[in-house]
Amino acid sequence: METSISNTQFNALDIKRRNHINILGEGEDVILLAHGFGCSQNMWRFLTPYLEKQYKVVLFDYVGSGNSDVRAYQKNRYSQLEGYALDVIEICDSLDFSNVLFVGHSVGATIGLITAQKRPDLIDKLVMVCPSPCFLNLNDGYSGGFEKSDLEELVNLMDKNYIGWGNYLAPLVMNSTPSETDTEQETDDALVQELLTSFCSTDPTYSKPFAIATFFSDYRHLLPKVHQPCLVIQSKQDTLVPVEVGKYTQKQLPNAKLDIINGKGHCLHMTYPLQVLNCIQDFIDQTQ
């Protein structure tokens, strides 16, 4: 059963401020970039210099993340992912956008999935970078990668030791391990530190409900309902999302392609931006 989400009316200027919207490039086709949990639109900076040459690139922060206006935060609305999908719907409606290419990272991809199902007129194509429709291992045979008790312990750590929670999660997300060269290790360390800073700069008042909505939800039922062309970009070594989850997601979507990048970590758009860019461009070319 769907839970009703309150929809407070905002004008375009309010929404631009609320979600800290930035628009780059002057192309006719619109690409909307949706960040994941604990992140911000800044994490897309490795892709935007290439995308803005050809497209109109729309960047934003979910309410409670990045440089969004937290005065717009509504506890009931943002306790579930439908509330963040409503952000996307209102952004598109306020800018008079339709048929956009939606590129979502991690839970941002699930939010795109919800948006595409609720308002198919807004999403023409959907790119999902390291998506997971459900992070839980369930007794119906689905393995999302985590036992419920482990995720409960992780979320509880946010109350007990927020900095410690960030110090544990950031290297896990980046799959940071000693690299073969000093340059690679320096890059890993810098990105882990950036992610840690992003995690810890977000008020747990907003990040904890987002974490619960992210890690304890199950949106597998939506996959067969989304008929837009979809691209699943999966990391070969992702501590958060096993390759089997990427394969499952692709198989359950009616019209989807799977690209597995031979890399590590959950943030491929940061660690392997050119490979992600090539996957996106090939997908666009194939679905014109």
Both tokens of 258, joined, read 């799977």
Which residue from 186, 283, 199 is spatially nearest to 233, judged by alpha carbons?
283
Q: Inform me whether the pLDDT recorded for 148 exceeds 80.
A: yes
Inter-residue contact 65 to 206 (CB < 8 Å):
yes
Q: Is 266 a catalytic residue?
A: yes
Q: For the chain, give every domain's residue range.
A: 12-134+219-286
**Amino acid residing at 78:** Y
Which residue from 229, 231, 238, 235 is spatially nearest to 260, judged by alpha carbons?
235
Q: Is 132 a catalytic residue?
A: no
Query: Could you report the per-residue pLDDT of 179-205, keeping only the tens digit for each?
Result: 444 444 445 678 777 766 666 667 888
Query: Catalytic residue among 40, 94, 106, 217, which?
Result: 106
Query: Catalytic residue among 94, 238, 259, 269, which?
Result: 238
Which residue from 147, 206, 196, 208 is spatially nearest to 172, judged by alpha carbons?
196
Q: Which fold has domain 12-134+219-286?
A: Rossmann fold (3.40.50)
Q: Inform me whether the pLDDT recorded for 121 exceeds 50.
A: yes
What pLDDT band is residue 172 in, cutting at 50, 70 and 90? Answer: confident
171 vs 206, higher pLDDT: 206
Q: Inform me whether the pLDDT recorded for 117 exceeds 90.
A: yes
Q: Is 4 a catalytic residue?
A: no
**Cα 132 from Cα 129, distance rounded (Å):** 9
Inter-residue contact 119 to 100 (CB < 8 Å):
no
The per-residue pLDDT for 2 is: 43
Which residue is listed with tokens 């979507």?
A: 253
pTM of this structure: 0.90
Average pLDDT, the chain: 89
